[in-house]
Amino acid sequence: MAYQLGQWRGLLAVLFVSLALPAQAKDDLTLNDKDYFEKPGLNVLVFSNWYDGLFSDSKTSGVELIHHGERTVTNGDVRLNATPEQWDMTPMFKERKVNREDQSIEAFLHYPDEQFDFSIKVTKNAAGVRLTVNLPKPLPKSLEGKAGFNLEFLPAAYFHKSFLMDDTAGGFPVYPTGLKEINGKADPIALAQGQHLVFAPEDNERRVSIRSASAPLELYDGRGKAQNGWFVVRSKIPANKTGAVIEWQIDAATVKNWIRKPMIAHSQVGYHPAQKKIAVIELDARDKKIQKASLIKINADGTRKTVLSEKPESWGKYLRYEYRQFDFSKIQTPGLYTITYGDQETHSFRIDKAVYQAAWHPTLDMYLPVQMDHMTINESYRIWHGASHLDDALQAPVNIEHFDLYAQGPTTDTPYKPGEHIPGLNIGGWYDAGDYDIRTQTQYDVVNTLVTAWETFGLKRDTTSVDYARKFVDLHTADGKPDVLQQIEHGTLALIAQHRAVGHAIPGIVEAHIDQYHHLGDGITKTDNLIYDPKMGEMETDGFKSGKFDDRWAFTSKSSSLNYGSAAALAAASRALTGFNDELAKECLATAKKVWAEEAAKAKPDSFKHGNTTGGKLEHEQLKAATELLITTGEAKYAQAVKKLATEVDFGGNASWFIRAIPYMDADFKQQLKSKAQIYQTELAATQAKNPFGVPITEGGWAGSGWVIRHATNNYYIHKAFPELVSRESVLQGLNFLYGTHPAHNLSLVSNVGTRSKEVAYGMNRADFSFISGGIVPGILVLKPDYPENHEDWPFFWGENEYVVNLAASYIFLVNAAEDVLKE
């Protein structure tokens, strides 16, 4: 661990990075046509991706390593803390230059508040690549001792492995110990310091060696500061220096002639006998050996019979892989099967007419009730969480931008002053995702979707008991009431509470403080459940109020889009709740009509917009409200609005609303929609041809399971209205994708659904590396330019692994839609 700075006196502070075979082997790292460095077993990316614009640092930027097919290193950048958290400051990206003549990539960045500019340059050399941090001017005085070059290593990739710092050995802990870094108050304690650091010297697939010429290396465990932290290697930037102030030399070992093993993408749930059955085989682009794929039937006595064997058909290249398709649609005999390709074999799956019948049960039985706010959730011996946030909510301050996409405009738009308690908001709603906010746009989406599922499929399953008087939910315990209706009621209570309290829909309710926001554990421990009284001392309470400012804020700025979206859900809920909770049903419909009338009377709509919390496009939300009010009341004014909006709103993304309105419209309306559906048919064919999975795969900072579900659901509605234009397979492809027919791996993206599914996900229990049954993760994140990823060993990639409650409702609908089309 010790190092002798005297040995390096007179040298520049240098940082060389060599990412290649050991020095004695021939280097074959090249700068490819996709602008990253490549060789078998190793890719070096240099700012191919940038920090996520919505949620800051998502561990997908800077200098990154994809090592034997796994992205294990990221965030190679100048940072102002040794172990940065997600919300800590990141530099602003200016430009990136690729120089093929000298085989280099250079990124230019700056910290505007500190007037600090720098570049990071990675250049191929004889040993691998050389990385330098370059300063045109000396480091600002305010950043001396703070700014440094960080490189972050995925903890899960190095669990149970060792490191060497100079001549001293150490091990990577599975769980962090020791003191954490507190920004501006306490420095972290390094696991090791020195000049030469080797990660996993015992493992050829994970060994990475970093050698610094002068600036000492420091190794930290960022998980002490935050559970989603990584192992960080760092060198501080020296004061009063310009030019190449930091340089490292690193070797990353690779297995000779390494080729990624084939991955057989298939449905972990299985297939209905009558549907198309196509497994997609994902191959390393250098894997030229094409082998036979076989479908094997497994018998009760363990014997196996090959029922189909053939070379899969080439599809071509998508992203970085070559793909082939193995079509076994002609096999319809029910039973248990597996697929082999070369020496790879899938887990078993079914061919069975009942394959989808129970696939939605975990989501309704477990995931949705576990997300219920303001209630205690009990499961046999386990309490998932207590009745949380009973102190909701304080009026948010004006002119404030929250760290999680909420904002309050220049007025409160309510009778309440900033910081004043708004009574009546402590009821209903679901935790939005892996966090605990009540995002209204999500809430009304869930209510709307569950209502359509109830009305379309009549889902009367009852395995959950809900007792509002006791604020108690008991899982696996029937109470004689359909669970879908109870969930509709719960979401509706949160929506109607806003209208009761302030007269309009609000963006949502969210933690005021970031140290509450990143809370992990039981939601009841986030607040004291007592209404905040600023006149009391922090430790003072009378049993009803307290002086502890831990209550959530209600963001209340008016948005016509949000108001229409809420009204749509209330109108829909009024139908479902009639005969179940008649008083609430009547209030919902009256409120929805009132919102429509008030919005129609405005000279111009309330246009406050911020992030993703203030509703979708105005005309889209109007369409939702008009459709639901039309179905509920049959009144001509809503039909007129739908007809008008049909000329303004795109059909493909909103087909479900238009098609559900058909029975309430004039005879010409369906024909007009058919013309739009014919155009959509061509668009659908183009979408299905873009990749071998036949669904839209997004390439943003949040993976696309939600888009896949929405796409398949729209196809269901169009198929039901115009079966000659859109086939049922475009519905079933969406489920196949969710269940494992997707890039990167073949796990089901629905926890506890399918033979192998996501068992490490970003829910409220993510720190336990566990899952919530029935939750749906965002799925396959495509990192630019060509790397599809979904980690099963690290839950904290929220863009890949975070459950979101509205996906649960839409998934329930889609599974039942698949059952419906398969009855045809």
The DSSP secondary structure of 299-333, one letter per residue, reads: PTTS-EEEEEEEPPEEEEEETTEEEEEEE-TT---
Q: 719-744 as b/e, with b when 16 or more CB fall inside 10 Å? A: bbbbeebbbbbbbbbbbbbbbbbbbb
Give the pLDDT of residue 684: 97
The domain at 359-616 falls in which architecture?
Alpha/alpha barrel (1.50)
Weakest mean pLDDT among 127-136, 328-337, 546-555: 127-136
Enter the tokens of residue 426: 């402590």
Q: 353 vs 334, 723, 820, CA distance in Å? A: 8, 22, 12
Q: 31 vs 35, 42, 129, 522, 611, CA distance in Å? A: 6, 12, 10, 48, 37
Enter the tokens of residue 771: 């899952």
Q: 284 vs 318, 340, 559, CA distance in Å? A: 11, 17, 49
The domain at 5-252 falls in which architecture?
Distorted Sandwich (2.70)
Q: Name the 3-class secondary structure at 806.
A: helix
The count of residues in the chain is 824
Q: What is the rounded CA–CA span in Å between residue 329 and residue 272?
A: 10
Is a pLDDT exceeding 50 seen at residue 138?
Answer: yes
Q: What is the rounded CA–CA span in Å between residue 440 and residue 579?
A: 26
Q: What percent of the chain has pLDDT over 90?
A: 92
Give the pLDDT of residue 87: 86
> Scanning the structure block, which residue is given the tokens 């929405």?
710
Left, alpha or beta for 19 (phi > 0: left; psi -120 to 50: alpha)? beta
- The CA-based diameter of the chain, rounded to the nearest angstrom, is 89
pLDDT in tens, 369-379: 999 999 999 99
Q: What is the rounded CA–CA span in Å between residue 223 and residue 85?
A: 10
Enter the tokens of residue 47: 């700012």
Q: How confident is the model at residue 279 (pLDDT cuts 50, 70, 90)?
A: very high
Q: How confident is the model at residue 60 (pLDDT cuts 50, 70, 90)?
A: very high
Average pLDDT over residues 39-63: 89
Contact 421, 512 (CB under 8 A): no
Rounded-to-5 percentages of helix, strand, coil across the chain: 25, 25, 45
Q: What percent of the chain has pLDDT over 70?
A: 96
Is a pLDDT exceeding 70 seen at residue 2?
Answer: no
Enter the tokens of residue 399: 């002119």
What is the number of H-type helices and E-type strands within the chain? 16, 43
DSSP states along 177-219: -SPPPBTTTBPPPPSEEESEEEE-TT-TTT-EEEEESSSPEEE
Q: What is the rounded CA–CA span in Å between residue 742 and residue 749?
A: 10
Reported as type and span, the H/E element at residue 622 is helix 618-633
Residue 601 phi, psi dihedral angles, 5° rounding: -85, -10
Average pLDDT over residues 618-633: 98
Provide the residue ranges of all domains of the chain, joining segments of one domain with +.
Answer: 5-252, 263-351, 359-616
Q: What is the rounded CA–CA span in Å between residue 369 and residue 473?
A: 8
H runs (alpha helix) in 723-824: 729-738, 798-801, 805-821
Superfamily of chain region 263-351? Immunoglobulins (2.60.40.10)
Q: Which of 126, 111, 133 is nearest to 19 (CA)?
A: 126
Q: Structure pTM?
A: 0.95
Q: What is the rounded CA–CA span in Å between residue 358 and residue 773?
A: 13
Is a pLDDT exceeding 80 seen at residue 722?
Answer: yes
Give the pLDDT of residue 20: 40
Enter the tokens of residue 809: 């409702």
Q: Which of 641, 678, 681 is nearest to 661 (CA)?
A: 641
Weakest mean pLDDT among 85-94, 238-247, 265-274: 85-94
Q: What mean pLDDT value characterizes the chain?
A: 94
Is a pLDDT exceeding 70 seen at residue 655?
Answer: yes
